[in-house]
Chains A and B, each alone.
Chain A
């Protein structure tokens, strides 16, 4: 357990360090100013703060408020170190986010009790955090799961699609290109709606992609989250931008329904496009990985096509 003790009186800091050491806590950082404390708190992870209320320039109350503004310290125990004459500041300190207070002169029995409370609090916080992580894990897992909509033409389950890509011969691979279609606000959609609504929106997008593929040859899959990968037949000469416009056009019909139902309107972007080269010896599986890799997404400005271009796309 790492402590950060803040006091403008070095001897008080020494007293705190020594008392904590006697209680078995040797990991104690000392700071004589609030500015130093903030710098240290940002550089290291602190489990408990002990802060003097009355300090020059930035008071302990202000420091507490500043620490609470940092996400990592939203629930970290903050003990205010105060003397009797400062009791009127204690309310301010609690309002600013202090957890508890200890009094000067330091009473070892009282201090030990406070430390026990701190330990309990940290343990409770860790448990809550662990549960949160666990539920986040479930969220991520569920969110990242690929969906399948068997009723939609050209769509394959992800494992089937993966196998399909892997088994493509070099000749067939060269005849195709891989295109990634991303739903930028998929996570928001997932968190702000029900699973059923989320799946319905994904099915709408899948249907739009399927429609955009016709009559060209091609297959696609949902790889998880808001990501789709499309295999386009290069011979059909489908331009990715036009493909995206078709998908967006199909989705724009549903926009009003989404708005009426309070569902976030999916923002569909063009991801990467991988065109296998004759001279490249990249394996199909790696091509799939590359097109799914979002670390260097292709930025496409969201520009709605003009009526004229839409007509041209639709009747081409």
Chain B
């Protein structure tokens, strides 16, 4: 699957946004990985988790709207798991353990969208 190819389901305007989103997603996937490392290292982990939640929230709204439900669902999982953990004042490492699989999944999907499945 190589989603960077033009998708006929979308209008030219929406297709342009979809491709821009996929490009942007690659950068954001790296940001998620960096934030995971900061949390792991105990560098202001709560701030890093809040940043992660906000970023996931912003990208989730776009993903579903441009026809990338799988990305949207992964981002929603990240957002809700961080939100839940922070609200209940869970240990940051515990929150990270629930979030990390989704961050890994996001990286995998992003790679697939950009370069096709390996």
In Å, the complex CA distance between A105 and B21 comes to 14
The size bracket of the interface on A is 10 to 19
Contact for B61 among A18, A21, A22, A83, CB less than 8 A: A83
Closest Cβ–Cβ distance, residue A306 to chain B (whole Å): 72
Q: Between A and B, how many residue pairs show CB distances below 8 Å? A: 61
CB-based contact A85/B13 at 8 Å: no
The winner among A9, A11, A81, A83 for most chain B CB atoms within 10 A is: A11
Query: Which chain B residues (23-80) contact chain A, with CB distance < 8 Å?
Result: 24, 57-66, 69, 72, 76, 79-80
Q: Knowing A21-B13, A83-B57 are in contact, say whether A15-B62 is a contact too (CB < 8 A).
A: yes
Query: Which residues of the other chain, B, contact A104 by a CB distance below 8 angstroms?
Result: 60-61, 64-65
CB-based contact A9/B13 at 8 Å: no
CB-based contact A106/B64 at 8 Å: yes
**Contact digits for A1-25, partner B, Cβ 8 Å, 1 yes 0 no:** 0000000110110110111011000
The number of chain B residues with a CB under 8 A from chain A is 23
CB-based contact B61/A12 at 8 Å: yes
CB-based contact A11/B24 at 8 Å: yes
Closest Cβ–Cβ distance, residue A105 to chain B (whole Å): 2
Query: Which residues of the other chain, B, contact A21 by a CB distance below 8 angstroms?
Result: 13
List 9 A-B pairs, minimum CB-CB distance, nearest first.
A105-B64, A104-B61, A18-B13, A106-B65, A105-B65, A11-B62, A9-B58, A15-B65, A14-B17
| 14 A-B pairs whose Cβ atoms sit less than 8 Å apart in the complex | A9-B59, A9-B61, A9-B62, A11-B21, A11-B66, A12-B61, A15-B14, A18-B13, A21-B13, A83-B61, A85-B80, A105-B60, A105-B69, A106-B61
Q: Other than the known A11-B66, A81-B61, what 7 A-B pairs have Cβ atoms closer than 8 Å?
A: A11-B20, A12-B58, A14-B20, A15-B17, A15-B65, A19-B14, A104-B60
Report which B residues bind A (CB closer than 8 A).
Answer: 11, 13-14, 17, 20-21, 24, 57-66, 69, 72, 76, 79-80, 83
